[in-house]
Structure 1
Amino acid sequence: MPPSRLGLRLAACLLNISEARRKYVVENIAKAALLEENGQNHPEVSVLNIFSDQDYNRSVITIAASIDILGSSVLAACGEAFRSINMGAQDGIHPCLGAVDLIPIYPLSGIGVEECGSVARSIAENLVLRVPGCSVFLFGEADLPKKRSLVQRRKQLGWFTRRDFSALKPDLGAAPARRCGLTGVGASPYVMNCNVTIDSRDLTAGKEIASGIRGSSANGLKGVQAMAFPHDGNIEIACNVESFEDQEAGETTEDFQYLAYHVLGNRFSYMSPPYIEAQIKKLASDWGIATIGGALVGFTPQECKSCAEYAIKGGIGEFWKKRGGVFM
């Protein structure tokens, strides 16, 4: 591979699947992302991380690749996932609509979010052609011309509460089949997952704390979406941390509230995980509750880019094994 291509046009997919309790199934899905049609390992693809949560029965598989081949890699992983996961038998605390629940494409280097949107649309179109019963909704840069956010689409579809697929109207594909469910496909600037556990079983308190840090709240944290779930005998505040284009923010602020990175010369900022944890701790203390700790699911945008470049330059397809896959 010519050195000039390395690290220049990379994107990532944080593939969300509705399975965590069968480790071999999750790993088979990850390994499928690495194979070319001839069965050989693809040199420009790496699975950087696998994060599985038993209570949620949900896994996030971080696939990084050259943007030119990311689509085929993701499709291969999805094909294995749809063969292995039956939504009719799935159970878990975390909301979900699909066996493959979410396919977000994020730019890492050398490409913009619009090109990621084109790749996402291509993935969506191919999925409904290749997988019988697969149905798709689009979000972000893949949802043209409206470009509705993932949060908007999930609210419209009842993702947070629905388990009955019969009345759902997909953007692509027929009415969702019970086995496959409904899959979200889209593109946006990078979104992290950051979870903080509070030392309590009080779900009402957890929901109030999650509401207090949500970006849509009056004093909430910009770009943060949050939900509260029972988890391992306590309550977990699960946060999606969105990147947003920001021409004014510096690399950090005095209290490290925001962190920044660049893609194609554009600056993006996001709320720092330690700051999110500190704010949750402060809100929890108002309820007389302590926090136990926080966990970043996968990587920050900068870490994802660095790991992707390192893994692909080194031809390390199963990078998650070298850094230690996390199975909770």
Structure 2
Amino acid sequence: MNTVTPIVKTITWEEGTESMAQIIECVPNFSEGRRQDVIEAIVEPFRRRRGCALLDYRADADHNRLVVSLAGAPDPIQEALLEAAKVAVEHIDLNQHQGGHPRMGAVDVIPFVPLRNITMEACVELAHRFGKRYHEETGVPVYFYEEAALRPERRRLEVVRKGQYEGLKEAVTQPERHPDVGEPRLHPTAGATAVGARKILVAFNVNLGTTDVRVAKEIAKAVRSSSGGLCHVKGIGLSLEDRGLVQVSMNVVDYEKNALYRVTELIRMEAKRWGVPVVETEVYGMVPAAALLESAAYYLQIAGFSPDQVIELKMLEMLGSDGS
């Protein structure tokens, strides 16, 4: 995996005091994980925009995908997103793109997540406003998904992205596949983009000691909710050719209802049926502390454990209580 060193910077708020500022997370995904110069050009607007903190960015060559984690005020994040999107649209041609991860756009998904002093409803409105402006400035059609979906069947990203770029080029002309913003045709090289509002999710991967991708695909089928597995879990099976492994790549969309240890243990049990070991797990991008602590408590068998026992979290709570 080609992992780029994460960057963290201080947020400087432009409106009001920090204690009253609206804070969102945004995790745009770009269909580029191999060309370092393009990756850096896409990320650069997030580094220099006042009010936008670049928390983490990771590029994976097998997935051929760049995942960026941002936090900050809504307005500066939107401005930085538009700058980065224009770079991606200029440099990424999906007619030439090959990679393991499903995609339909050079800028594939842009989710807005409420973190502090902002509601989900406000993030939905933000997604709708941004989607229209994004189309006006890039010419890329937009589909709204998750909480921002305008049609109930489009809440699920996998439904919106069905057929990926290649399949959607023809399907977009069908009334049920028309974009929410833009004409019923894809951008000739940049495809379409899904813009949404959602809760925090955990991008969680389990790597298996085999080169047989069928094993990963069968286990993903057993784990994901859409085929009868665990609720709030989405998953696909991929080959990591450069590493001689296969991967069950997942989004845990509600870690409070299905803990990471539960997902891991189900995969471990399924892998035993194939005589395949779990080599390692990966958390891709940012993750809430609670998601990790719950699994740590499970594996360490800590009775009655509470996140309040973690000194760093308690100190942050104390610091935040006085408005600093």
What's the offset of the Cα at 1:152? 5.4
Q: How many residues align?
A: 274
Question: 2:135 aligned to 128, 146, 153, which one?
Answer: 128
1:140-159, aligned counterparts within 5 Å? 140-144=146-150, 146=152, 148-151=154-157, 153-154=159-160, 157-159=162-164
What's the offset of the Cα at 1:151? 3.5
Paired residue secondary structure (1:170): coil
CA–CA distance in 2 between the matches of 1:152 and 1:291? Answer: 26
Aligned to 2:23: 10
CA–CA distance in 2 between the matches of 1:145 and 1:170? Answer: 11
CA–CA distance in 2 between the matches of 1:179 and 1:152? Answer: 21
Which structure dedicates a bigger proportion of its chain to helix? 2
Give the partner amino acid of 1:96. R
What's the offset of the Cα at 1:177? 2.2
Change (3 A) 1:58 1:95: same
CA contact 1:98–1:180 (8 Å) conserved in 2: yes
Give the partner amino acid of 1:158. G
Higher mean displacement: 294-303 or 142-151: 142-151
Change (3 A) 1:151 1:42: closer
CA–CA distance in 2 between the matches of 1:229 and 1:7? Answer: 43
> Where do 5+ consecutive residues of structure 2 fail to align?
1-12, 173-177, 292-311, 317-324
Aligned to 1:192: 202
> Is it true that 1:284 corresponds to 2:278 in the alignment?
no
Structure with greater contact order relative to length (CA < 8 Å, sep ≥ 6):
1
Q: Identity across aligned pairs (percent)?
A: 27
> Is it true that 1:172 corresponds to 2:177 in the alignment?
no
> Where do 5+ consecutive residues of structure 1 fail to align?
35-40, 244-258, 260-268, 311-328
Higher mean displacement: 197-206 or 139-148: 139-148
CA contact 1:71–1:122 (8 Å) conserved in 2: no
Which of structures 1 and 2 has the bigger CA Rg?
2
Aligned to 1:94: 101
What's the offset of the Cα at 1:78? 1.1
> Is it true that 1:113 corresponds to 2:152 in the alignment?
no
CA–CA distance in 1 between the matches of 2:19 and 2:84? Answer: 23
* 4+ residue segments displaced more than 6 Å: none
Paired residue secondary structure (1:165): helix
CA contact 2:143–2:160 (8 Å) conserved in 1: no
Give the partner amino acid of 1:137. Y
CA–CA distance in 2 between the matches of 1:32 and 1:42? Answer: 6
CA–CA distance in 1 between the matches of 2:286 and 2:222? Answer: 24
When normalised by structure 1's length, the TM-score is 0.76
> Is it true that 1:274 corresponds to 2:261 in the alignment?
yes
1:238-257, aligned counterparts within 5 Å? 238-243=249-254
What's the offset of the Cα at 1:276? 2.0
CA contact 2:154–2:160 (8 Å) conserved in 1: no
Aligned to 2:287: 300
1:16-165, aligned counterparts within 5 Å? 16-34=29-47, 41-132=48-139, 134-144=140-150, 146=152, 148-151=154-157, 153-154=159-160, 157-159=162-164, 162-163=166-167, 165=169
Change (3 A) 1:190 1:7: farther
CA–CA distance in 2 between the matches of 1:49 and 1:217? Answer: 32
> Is it true that 1:224 corresponds to 2:230 in the alignment?
no
CA–CA distance in 2 between the matches of 1:272 and 1:299? Answer: 16
Give the partner amino acid of 1:229. L
Question: 1:236 aligned to 247, 251, 268, which one?
Answer: 247
CA contact 2:202–2:253 (8 Å) conserved in 1: yes
What's the offset of the Cα at 1:71? 2.0
